[in-house]
Amino acid sequence: MAENKAAGYKNDYIIQVNHLTKLYGAANRTEASRMMKEGRSKEEVLRETGVTVALWDVSFKVKRGEVFVIIGLSGSGKSTVIRTLNMLNRPTAGQILFEDSAIDTFGKKDLNEYRRDKISMVFQSFGLMSHRDVLGNVVYGLEIKGLARVERERKAMEMLDMVGLKGYEHASIASLSGGMRQRVGIARALANDPEVLLMDEPFSALDPLVRKDMQFELLSLQRKLEKTVVFITHDINEAFKLGDTVAIMRDGRLIQVGTPEEMSASPADDYVREFIDSADKTKVLCARHVMLTPCVVRETDSPDYALREMKNGGVSSAYVVDRHMKFLGIVNVEAAIRARKERKSLKEVYVTDVATTAADTVISDILPVAAEAKYPIAVLENDGSLVGIVSKASVLSSLM
Ligand SMILES: Nc1ncnc2c1ncn2[C@@H]1O[C@H](COP(=O)(O)OP(=O)(O)OP(=O)(O)O)[C@@H](O)[C@H]1O
Ligand SMILES: [Mg+2]
C-alpha cells in the first residue's frame, strides 16, 4: 500500500477519465454517434435512433486526496459515470486510468483486486444486509479479503467508533435511523481502507439536519484519513460545501469543471448559472436555523442564582429577560459577582447596549456583526422576546 501511494505521488491525479461514452441500445450506435458529433441533442438521438446517450465524450481528472463532486439534473449521467469508475458499468468508448492503469482493460482477477483494495462504493439506498447486525455488515468486505476474525472485528470496531456508532455493533439494521444506516455504509466502505470512496447521492434520503451532520462528518473523516472521494449530488449547496472540485453534467455531457469559486465567478452557461442561482436562494439560512439555547435569567433573579446558572451551563454570560421573555440585556460573571458583593440586584448591573438580531435575518447579514460582538448575539422575535443566541462559531460552522 505504502509503495503504491509513493508511486502515485509522481502523478497528482489518481483517476483520469478520457473521452468516456456510454450508449444504451444496441441497434443504431453508429448513427447515434454521428448525430452527437453533429451536436444534436440527446432527445433527438433517442427519437431518431432509439439509442440513449448516457455519457458523451466525458473527460476529467480527480486529484489524489480531493473531494470531487459531480452534479447535474436527474438523468444527466451522474450514476453512469461513477459506476464506470469501478466497472459496474462498462463504457462504450473511452478510457479510465487509475494510477496509470487502464481499468477498462482489467481481467476478472485484476478487477476483483481493484474493487477489493482500491475503491469502495457507498450507495444512496445504503445497500446493507438486513440479516446481519451492524458489525456483521462492516466486517463483510474484510471477510472477503480473508482477514482472520479477531483482526476483522477489531478493524470494524475501529471504523464504527470513527463514524460515531460505538455501542451499536450488535444492533439490527432495521432498528437504525437513516443517518445511522448511512454511517454503517460509510464504515463498511472505509473498513477496506480503499484509496477512493465513491458516493452516489449518499445523503439525499436523509432529513436536512441529519444531512448537515453527515456532510460535516464526511469532511472531517476525509481530512483525517486523506481519502479521495468522488461524490454525487443534485444539490448545489451540498456540492459547494463538500467539493474541492465540482463537475456539472447535462444530458450525458460534462459542461464545466472547476472549484466552487471558479464556477460561481464564471459559470460556463445558463444551465450552470441556474444551478448556482438555486444555491443562492436556498442558502438563505437565517438566525433561526443556527441559533443556540442561551443561559436565561430574569431581572428579578438574585445574582447568586445567575452565577449558579452560568456555572451549570459552563458559560460566562447570561441573557436577562422580563416575565414575558422580553429581552433586556446581558449580565456577565464579573458583573454578577460585583452585584453579589455590593448587594445589588441584577437589574442594576446588566448591560443593555448589546447586539441583537431578528430571527429571520440571513446569515450573511449576521456574520459581520457576530465577528465584532463581545457576546453571542441575542436572537429576538418581532415582539422582542428572546428565542436564542448566535455566536460567531455557530454562524461559521453553519456555513461549512
Ligand atoms: N440500464 C440502462 N438502460 C438504458 N438506459 C439507461 C440505463 N441506465 C441509465 N440509463 C439512462 O442513462 C441516462 C443517465 O442515467 P443516470 O442514471 O446516469 O442519471 P443520473 O444523473 O444518475 O440521474 P439521477 O439523478 O436520477 O440518479 C438516463 O437517460 C437513463 O435513462
Ligand atoms: Mg443517479
Give the pLDDT confidence of 69-79 residue by residue, as tens digits: 999 988 899 99
Residue 281 has pLDDT above 50, yes or no: no
pLDDT band at residue 393, thresholds of 50, 70 and 90? Answer: confident
Q: Is the pLDDT of residue 3 over 50?
A: no
Nearest CA to ligand 1 atom 10: 54
Task: Compute, in angstroms, the gap from residue 74 CA to the centroid of ligand 2.
Answer: 7
List of residues 6+ apart from 80 with CB closer than 8 A? 22, 54, 55, 89, 252
- Decide which of 211 and 151 is more confident: 151
**Alpha helix (H) residue ranges in 192-269:** 208-225, 236-242, 260-265
Atom of ligand 1 minimally distant from the CA of 77: 18
pTM to 2 decimal places:
0.70
- Expressed in angstroms and rounded, the spacing between residue 254 Cα and the centre of ligand 1 is 15
Q: H/E element holding 31?
A: helix 29-37
Ligand 1 centre distance from Cα of residue 388 (Å): 45
Contacts for 392 with CB less than 8 Å, ≥ 6 apart: 370, 371, 373, 376
Would you state the cell numbers that stand for residue 176, as one nine-digit string?
437504525
Q: pLDDT confidence of 334, banded at 50, 70, 90?
A: very high
Lining residues, ligand 1, CB within 6 Å: 24, 52, 54, 72, 74-80, 234
Ligand 1 centre to CA of 78 (Å) is 8
Q: What is the pLDDT of residue 10?
A: 54
Q: How far is the CA of 202 from the centre of ligand 2 (A)?
A: 10
Query: Which residue has the least CA distance to atom 7 on ligand 1?
Result: 24
Predicted local distance difference test score (pLDDT) of residue 285: 66
**DSSP symbol at 321:** E
Percent of the chain with pLDDT over 70: 94
Q: Whose CA is nearest to atom 5 of ligand 1?
A: 24
More confident residue, 353 or 7: 353
Ligand in closest contact with the CA of 234: 1
Looking from the CA of residue 22, the nearest atom of ligand 1 is: 12
Question: Which of 80, 200, 234 is the pocket-test mutation for ligand 1 (most atoms within 8 Å of CB)?
Answer: 80
Identify which ligand lies nearest to the alpha carbon of 78: 1
Residue in the block written with cell 443556527: 290
Task: Name the average pLDDT for the chain.
Answer: 89
pLDDT for residue 125: 66
* Cα–Cα distance measured from residue 258 to residue 40, given in angstroms and rounded to the nearest whole number: 26
d(CA 233, CA 17) in angstroms, rounded, equals: 19
Atom of ligand 1 nearest to the CA of 42: 29
Quick one: average pLDDT of 272-285?
Answer: 67
Pick the residue whose CA is nearest to atom 17 on ligand 1: 79
pLDDT at site 6: 44
Rg (CA), the chain: 27
DSSP β-ladder status, 296-298 and 317-321: parallel
Q: Are 271 and 94 in contact (CB under 8 A)?
A: no
Where are the alpha helices (H) located in 197-356, listed in sequence order? Answer: 208-225, 236-242, 260-265, 270-282, 287-290, 303-313, 333-341
What is the side-by-side strand order in the sheet with 356-358? Answer: 356-358, 377-380, 386-390
Find the range with the poorest average confidence among 273-277, 309-313, 393-397: 393-397
Tell me how far apart the alpha carbons of residues 342 and 387 are, in angstroms, rounded to a whole number. Answer: 31
Cβ(187)–Cβ(162) below 8 Å: yes
What confidence tier does 365 reach under pLDDT thresholds 50, 70, 90?
A: confident
Of all protein residues, whose CA lies closest to atom 25 belonging to ligand 1?
74
Task: Give dist(CA 130, CA 136) in Å, integer.
Answer: 10
Q: What are phi and psi of 355, to 5 degrees?
A: -75, 135
CA nearest ligand 1 atom 2, residue: 24
Q: In the 8-state DSSP scheme, what is residue 89?
A: S
Digit-coded pLDDT (tens) for 223-234: 888 899 999 998
* Out of 34-38, 169-173, 259-263, 339-343, least confident range: 259-263
User: What is the pLDDT at residue 282?
Assistant: 37
Q: Is the pLDDT of residue 5 over 50?
A: no
* Per-residue pLDDT at 283 exceeds 70: no
Q: How many residues does the chain have?
A: 400
Instruction: Decide: helix, strand or coil at residue 345.
Output: coil
Helix (H, G, I), strand (E, B) or coil at 151: helix
Mean pLDDT of the region 240-244: 90
Average pLDDT over residues 167-184: 91
Instruction: Give me the sign of the Cα torsion angle 31, 33, 35, 38.
Output: negative
Q: Give distance in angstroms: CA of 81 to centre of ligand 1.
A: 10
How far apart are alpha carbons 196 and 96 in whole angstroms? 14
Q: Could you give the CA distance from residue 136 to residue 190 in angstroms, rounded to a whole number?
A: 14
Q: Which residue in 96, 148, 95 sits closest to 118, CA to CA?
A: 96
Distance 159 CA to ligand 2 centre (A): 27
pLDDT at position 361 over 90: no
Predicted pLDDT at 309: 95
Mean pLDDT calculated for residue range 311-321: 94
- Please list the residues that pair with 113 across neighbouring strands: none
Q: Relative to the CA of 252, which ligand 1 atom is closest?
A: 14
What does the pLDDT average to over 88-111? 94
Model confidence at 221, pLDDT cuts 50, 70, 90, reads: confident
Please state, for a pLDDT cut of 90, what percent of the chain lies above it.
Answer: 64
Q: Which of 78, 89, 203 is the pocket-test mutation for ligand 1 (most atoms within 8 Å of CB)?
A: 78
Q: What domains does the chain contain, in order, with CATH numbers? A: 62-93+105-118+194-282 (3.40.50.300), 287-398 (3.10.580.10)
Burial 178-213 (b: 16+ CB within 10 A, else e): ebbbbbbbbbbbbbbbbbbbbbbbbbeebeeebbbe
pLDDT at position 398 = 65
Query: Where residue 1 falls among pLDDT bands split at 50, 70, 90?
Result: very low
Nearest CA to 163 out of 124, 127, 129, 135 is that of 135
Whether residue 7 is predicted with pLDDT greater than 50 in this model: the reply is: no
Query: Three cell numbers at 34?
Result: 454521428
